Amino acid sequence: MIVVKKMEPGQKERVIRFINQAMREEYHCDAHVLPEVVFVACQQIRTGEDELVGVIGLSLGKNGSLPLERFYEADQAFSAPVGSRGPSGAAVSTREIFSRRTEAAQFGRWVAEVPRAAEMLVHAAAGYARENGCMWGIGEAKPAVARHFALMGIKVVRIPGRIVFRNIPPNVLPYYTTPPLPGIYVFSLLQPYFSSIR
Protein backbone atom coordinates (compact mmCIF):
# COMPACT_ATOMS: atom_id res chain seq x y z
CA MET A 1 0.00 0.00 0.00
CA ILE A 2 1.24 3.49 -0.87
CA VAL A 3 0.59 6.39 1.49
CA VAL A 4 1.13 10.05 0.50
CA LYS A 5 1.54 12.72 3.17
CA LYS A 6 3.41 15.94 3.87
CA MET A 7 7.07 15.45 4.65
CA GLU A 8 7.88 15.35 8.35
CA PRO A 9 10.99 17.24 9.57
CA GLY A 10 12.79 13.97 10.35
CA GLN A 11 12.45 12.86 6.71
CA LYS A 12 14.19 15.87 5.17
CA GLU A 13 17.70 14.41 4.73
CA ARG A 14 16.27 11.15 3.39
CA VAL A 15 14.14 13.08 0.87
CA ILE A 16 17.11 15.20 -0.26
CA ARG A 17 19.18 12.03 -0.82
CA PHE A 18 16.30 10.41 -2.74
CA ILE A 19 15.87 13.39 -5.09
CA ASN A 20 19.60 13.96 -5.57
CA GLN A 21 20.15 10.28 -6.37
CA ALA A 22 17.58 10.51 -9.18
CA MET A 23 19.12 13.76 -10.46
CA ARG A 24 22.65 12.35 -10.35
CA GLU A 25 21.63 9.22 -12.25
CA GLU A 26 19.84 11.19 -14.97
CA TYR A 27 21.72 14.51 -15.19
CA HIS A 28 24.91 14.11 -13.09
CA CYS A 29 23.94 16.97 -10.77
CA ASP A 30 22.05 17.82 -7.61
CA ALA A 31 18.56 19.29 -7.37
CA HIS A 32 17.72 22.79 -6.16
CA VAL A 33 17.02 23.14 -2.44
CA LEU A 34 13.72 21.69 -1.27
CA PRO A 35 10.67 23.91 -1.75
CA GLU A 36 8.55 25.05 1.19
CA VAL A 37 6.03 22.18 0.97
CA VAL A 38 7.01 18.60 0.16
CA PHE A 39 4.81 15.53 -0.16
CA VAL A 40 6.27 12.04 0.13
CA ALA A 41 4.94 8.69 -1.04
CA CYS A 42 5.90 5.73 1.10
CA GLN A 43 5.25 2.04 0.59
CA GLN A 44 5.31 -0.38 3.48
CA ILE A 45 7.76 -3.20 2.92
CA ARG A 46 7.83 -6.66 4.53
CA THR A 47 9.93 -5.55 7.48
CA GLY A 48 7.20 -3.09 8.45
CA GLU A 49 9.35 -0.10 7.52
CA ASP A 50 8.25 2.59 5.09
CA GLU A 51 10.21 2.75 1.85
CA LEU A 52 10.30 6.17 0.16
CA VAL A 53 9.00 5.69 -3.41
CA GLY A 54 8.18 9.23 -4.49
CA VAL A 55 8.37 12.97 -3.81
CA ILE A 56 6.80 16.17 -5.10
CA GLY A 57 7.34 19.73 -3.90
CA LEU A 58 5.41 22.99 -4.04
CA SER A 59 6.24 26.66 -3.71
CA LEU A 60 3.23 28.93 -3.30
CA GLY A 61 3.20 32.22 -5.18
CA LYS A 62 1.42 33.93 -2.30
CA ASN A 63 4.72 33.73 -0.41
CA GLY A 64 6.60 35.87 -2.96
CA SER A 65 8.12 35.23 -6.34
CA LEU A 66 8.20 31.69 -7.68
CA PRO A 67 11.66 30.06 -7.63
CA LEU A 68 11.71 29.52 -11.41
CA GLU A 69 11.48 33.29 -11.95
CA ARG A 70 15.19 33.48 -11.04
CA PHE A 71 16.16 30.98 -13.73
CA TYR A 72 13.95 31.95 -16.69
CA GLU A 73 12.91 35.04 -18.58
CA ALA A 74 9.42 34.19 -19.79
CA ASP A 75 7.86 35.70 -22.89
CA GLN A 76 5.43 38.14 -21.24
CA ALA A 77 3.41 38.61 -24.43
CA PHE A 78 2.66 34.89 -24.86
CA SER A 79 -1.00 33.95 -24.64
CA ALA A 80 -2.55 30.49 -24.85
CA PRO A 81 -5.67 28.63 -23.81
CA VAL A 82 -4.90 26.74 -20.61
CA GLY A 83 -8.44 26.08 -19.45
CA SER A 84 -8.04 28.32 -16.44
CA ARG A 85 -11.24 30.31 -16.76
CA GLY A 86 -13.74 27.54 -16.40
CA PRO A 87 -14.74 25.14 -19.14
CA SER A 88 -14.33 27.75 -21.89
CA GLY A 89 -10.54 27.34 -21.84
CA ALA A 90 -10.08 31.04 -22.56
CA ALA A 91 -6.62 32.27 -23.48
CA VAL A 92 -4.50 33.71 -20.72
CA SER A 93 -1.21 35.56 -21.01
CA THR A 94 2.08 34.86 -19.30
CA ARG A 95 1.95 38.38 -17.87
CA GLU A 96 -1.41 37.61 -16.26
CA ILE A 97 -0.13 34.39 -14.69
CA PHE A 98 2.92 36.08 -13.18
CA SER A 99 1.03 39.20 -12.10
CA ARG A 100 -1.46 36.92 -10.31
CA ARG A 101 1.21 34.68 -8.81
CA THR A 102 -0.71 34.54 -5.51
CA GLU A 103 -2.99 32.16 -7.42
CA ALA A 104 -0.07 30.02 -8.63
CA ALA A 105 1.89 27.13 -7.18
CA GLN A 106 5.18 25.94 -8.59
CA PHE A 107 5.38 22.16 -8.76
CA GLY A 108 8.80 20.52 -8.73
CA ARG A 109 11.13 17.79 -7.46
CA TRP A 110 8.68 15.22 -8.85
CA VAL A 111 10.37 11.85 -8.56
CA ALA A 112 8.46 8.58 -8.38
CA GLU A 113 9.75 5.03 -8.56
CA VAL A 114 6.24 3.55 -8.66
CA PRO A 115 3.72 4.68 -11.32
CA ARG A 116 0.76 4.83 -8.92
CA ALA A 117 2.81 7.03 -6.57
CA ALA A 118 3.41 9.57 -9.35
CA GLU A 119 -0.29 10.25 -9.81
CA MET A 120 -1.03 10.19 -6.07
CA LEU A 121 1.68 12.81 -5.48
CA VAL A 122 0.28 15.11 -8.19
CA HIS A 123 -3.21 14.82 -6.66
CA ALA A 124 -1.93 15.58 -3.14
CA ALA A 125 0.07 18.60 -4.29
CA ALA A 126 -2.77 19.95 -6.46
CA GLY A 127 -5.24 19.53 -3.60
CA TYR A 128 -2.95 21.45 -1.25
CA ALA A 129 -2.44 24.19 -3.83
CA ARG A 130 -6.18 24.56 -4.35
CA GLU A 131 -6.80 24.64 -0.58
CA ASN A 132 -4.39 27.58 -0.53
CA GLY A 133 -6.25 29.54 -3.20
CA CYS A 134 -4.20 28.51 -6.23
CA MET A 135 -5.75 28.00 -9.65
CA TRP A 136 -2.52 27.65 -11.67
CA GLY A 137 0.18 25.05 -11.57
CA ILE A 138 3.51 26.05 -13.03
CA GLY A 139 6.82 24.29 -13.19
CA GLU A 140 10.08 23.82 -15.00
CA ALA A 141 10.35 20.47 -16.72
CA LYS A 142 11.90 18.51 -19.51
CA PRO A 143 9.57 17.59 -22.41
CA ALA A 144 9.28 13.98 -21.16
CA VAL A 145 7.72 15.17 -17.90
CA ALA A 146 5.26 17.35 -19.81
CA ARG A 147 4.35 14.31 -21.93
CA HIS A 148 3.83 12.27 -18.76
CA PHE A 149 1.42 14.92 -17.46
CA ALA A 150 -0.43 14.75 -20.79
CA LEU A 151 -0.65 10.95 -20.57
CA MET A 152 -2.20 11.35 -17.13
CA GLY A 153 -4.82 13.63 -18.70
CA ILE A 154 -3.43 16.99 -17.56
CA LYS A 155 -3.34 19.68 -20.24
CA VAL A 156 -0.06 21.61 -20.02
CA VAL A 157 1.11 24.57 -22.09
CA ARG A 158 4.76 25.48 -22.57
CA ILE A 159 5.55 29.16 -22.03
CA PRO A 160 8.23 30.48 -24.40
CA GLY A 161 11.25 31.96 -22.71
CA ARG A 162 14.94 31.55 -22.14
CA ILE A 163 17.07 30.10 -19.37
CA VAL A 164 19.15 32.64 -17.41
CA PHE A 165 22.29 30.52 -17.00
CA ARG A 166 24.15 33.08 -14.88
CA ASN A 167 21.56 32.60 -12.08
CA ILE A 168 21.81 28.82 -11.91
CA PRO A 169 23.98 27.30 -9.15
CA PRO A 170 26.89 25.22 -10.55
CA ASN A 171 25.79 22.02 -8.75
CA VAL A 172 22.44 22.16 -10.64
CA LEU A 173 23.68 23.44 -14.02
CA PRO A 174 23.88 20.07 -15.85
CA TYR A 175 20.08 19.74 -15.62
CA TYR A 176 19.78 22.94 -17.66
CA THR A 177 22.47 22.08 -20.23
CA THR A 178 21.63 18.41 -20.93
CA PRO A 179 19.39 18.15 -24.02
CA PRO A 180 16.51 18.36 -24.33
CA LEU A 181 16.51 21.61 -22.38
CA PRO A 182 13.85 22.24 -19.75
CA GLY A 183 11.20 24.90 -20.06
CA ILE A 184 8.33 26.50 -18.17
CA TYR A 185 4.98 24.73 -18.29
CA VAL A 186 1.67 25.96 -16.92
CA PHE A 187 -1.59 24.14 -16.29
CA SER A 188 -4.94 24.93 -14.76
CA LEU A 189 -5.82 23.35 -11.42
CA LEU A 190 -9.48 23.75 -12.45
CA GLN A 191 -9.34 21.41 -15.46
CA PRO A 192 -11.38 18.19 -15.45
CA TYR A 193 -8.44 15.98 -14.38
CA PHE A 194 -8.47 17.66 -10.97
CA SER A 195 -12.28 17.65 -10.55
CA SER A 196 -12.12 14.71 -8.12
CA ILE A 197 -10.01 16.80 -5.72
CA ARG A 198 -12.08 18.44 -3.02
Q: What is the pLDDT of residue 82?
A: 65
How far CA 36 is from CA of 2, 54, 106, 124, in Å, comes to 23, 17, 10, 15
**Interaxial angle between packed helices 115-131 and 143-152, expressed in degrees from 0 to 180 and rounded to the nearest 10:** 80
Q: Find all residues with CB under 8 Å of 182, minimum gap 6, and list them.
A: 140, 141, 142, 163, 175, 176
Number of helical (H) and strand (E) elements in the chain, helices listed first: 5, 11
Q: What is the pLDDT of residue 115?
A: 81
Find residue 183's DSSP bridge partners: 141
Q: How far apart are CA 122 and CA 119, in angstroms?
A: 5
- Contact criterion met (CB below 8 Å) for 57 and 15: no
Q: What is the pLDDT of residue 143?
A: 95
- Give the number of other CB atoms < 10 A from CB of residue 27: 18
Q: What per-residue string of b and e applies to 58-89 under the rule 16 or more CB within 10 Å gives b? A: bbbbeeeebbbbebbebebebeeebbbeeeee
Q: What is the pLDDT of residue 89?
A: 57
Below-50 pLDDT ranges, the chain? 84-88
Q: How far apart are CA 133 and CA 153, in angstroms?
A: 22
- Residue in 5, 13, 10, 3 with CA at minimum distance from that of residue 34: 13
